[in-house]
Amino acid sequence: MQRSIYIRPVGLFPAPSDEGDKAWGGLPLTGQPLRFAAVEIIERNGKTTIRRIVALGEAFERDWGRHTLAASDLLEAIREPRMRLAGLSLDRPRIMGIVNVTPDSFSDGGMLGSAQDAIDHGLRLAEEGADILDIGGESTRPGADPVSLEEELARVMPVIEGLRARTEVRISIDTRKAEVMRCAAAAGVDIVNDVSALTHDPQSLAVAAETGLSVILMHSQGDPKTMNKDPQYSDVAFDVFDFLEKRVAACEAAGIPKSKLVADPGIGFGKHLHHNVAVMSALSLYHALGVPVLLGASRKKLIDHICDVPNPKDRVPGSLAAALAGAAQGVQIVRVHDVAATRQALAVWQAALSGTDKILG
């Protein structure tokens, strides 16, 4: 099912969130020290999409006819402060550091061959300022082969156990398998990160609910092996919104409250370059889902497509630009390989934006 109206906050500017709701001063965005000055209203009918930017005053005064209820729900979702995620406040951009435990992972594959290396890597990222460590044992990069349950457990469990014993930092498990979610939860992870948004494994919705953990729902089209061959969308940014909205509803129906969910448009997952940049330029749209938004663009192929950098290790500057572009649209979590560099970039961006050095803790 397709929505017929979407609302995207635009004109984001820094402001304390406790200032009251003066329309002329913009409206607060998801409880962050950011406000939005206007909204883009998108009306969609089949293949036709009409987009226009209107000032807040006009958005409120106008008669939206049959769209009125939908429009006010979306606006409410955009403004509402987000709850803490696994205890983490989301009033400033949080950094998720990537800990790959896959011999074939595309950007640091092979480097973290042993569990001890992965644990050391995770501890280093925590020291560099990661708020969350994302541990993954199944490479989901385009073209990757699936991994058996036994192999995936053998890769991730020692790393989860090792890190849990040594750091207080939140840990997420990047998996599509219900059994991995169950074992990881028992070993003390805080968050489930599923690139299939709990669609790959028929058990995963129930198991994720049973664990009581927070869940990151990522959009993807097709399976990793073939997903980037010929992805099809009617209008990618909005098709992704519709998918994520449905997955949020499915989670709520399964007993996972909205306050435990995060939405991620899934850069590079069943998307060509023009799809990826369309999604990146529309990121603030996803605040209307009413849950925190995560962006994962670190060292991804889109940076190569834009700038011709075949080696993922050379894509750090592009990754930082992507993280800042996300932060500028109010994204609450960025998933990155280069934690120290991202932290530095976000801190300077925030200081320059707000005129104070007191924002980033």
Q: 279: Cβ–Cβ under 8 A, 6 or more apart, which residues?
A: 236, 237, 240, 265, 267, 271
Contact, 130 vs 94, CB < 8 A? no
Beta carbon of residue 56, minimum distance to ligand 7PJ (angstroms, whole number) = 32
173 CB-near residues (< 8 Å, 6+ apart): 134, 135, 136, 156, 160, 180, 181, 184, 189, 191, 192, 193
Please state the closest distance from residue 20 (CB atom) to ligand 7PJ, in A. Answer: 35
> How many other CB atoms are there within 10 angstroms of residue 337's CB atom?
21
Q: Minimal CA–CA distance to 191: which of 162, 221, 206, 169?
A: 169
- What residues between 88 and 117 interact with ligand 7PJ by CB under 6 A? 98
Tell me whether residue 38 or residue 204 sits nearer to ligand 7PJ (CB atom): 204
3 state SS of 340? helix
Residue 193 in the binding site for ligand 7PJ (CB under 6 A): yes
Which of 300, 301, 315, 343 is catalytic? The answer is 300
Q: Which is nearer to ligand 7PJ, 207 or 267 (CB)?
A: 267
Cα dist. 336→7, 60, 340 in Å?
28, 38, 10
Considering only the stretches 122-130, 160-168, 293-301, 318-326, report the one whose residues sit in contact with ligand 7PJ under the rule CB under 6 A. Answer: 293-301
The least distance separating ligand 7PJ from the CB of residue 198, rounded to whole angstroms, comes to: 12
Taking alpha carbons only, the member of 198, 202, 209, 200 closest to residue 257 is 209
Which residue sits closest to ligand 7PJ, CB atoms considered? 296
User: Which tokens belong to 128?
Assistant: 């560099």
Closest distance of CB 44 from ligand 7PJ, Å: 25
Exactly one of 129, 292, 296, 318 binds ligand 7PJ (CB under 6 A); that residue is 296
Query: If you ran DSSP here, which 8-state letter would residue 285 be given?
Result: G
The single residue of 44, 79, 335, 343 carrying the catalytic annotation is: 335
> Would you call 67 helix, strand, or coil by DSSP?
helix
When the beta carbons of 174 and 245 are compared against ligand 7PJ, the nearer one is: 174
* Cα angle value 233/105/177 (rounded, 5°): 70
82 contacts ligand 7PJ (rule: CB under 6 A): no
300 catalytic? Reply is: yes
Write down the residue that tokens 């406040």 correspond to.
89
Residue list 204-263, contact with ligand 7PJ (CB under 6 A): 216, 218
8 catalytic residue (yes or no): no
- Complex with ligand 7PJ: residue 228 or 284, whichever CB lies closer: 228
Q: Is residue 294 close enough to count as binding ligand 7PJ by CB under 6 A? A: yes
44 interacts with ligand 7PJ by CB under 6 A = no
Catalytic residues: 300, 335
Interface contacts to ligand 7PJ, rule CB under 6 A: 98, 140-141, 174, 193, 195, 216, 218, 264, 266-267, 294, 296, 300, 335
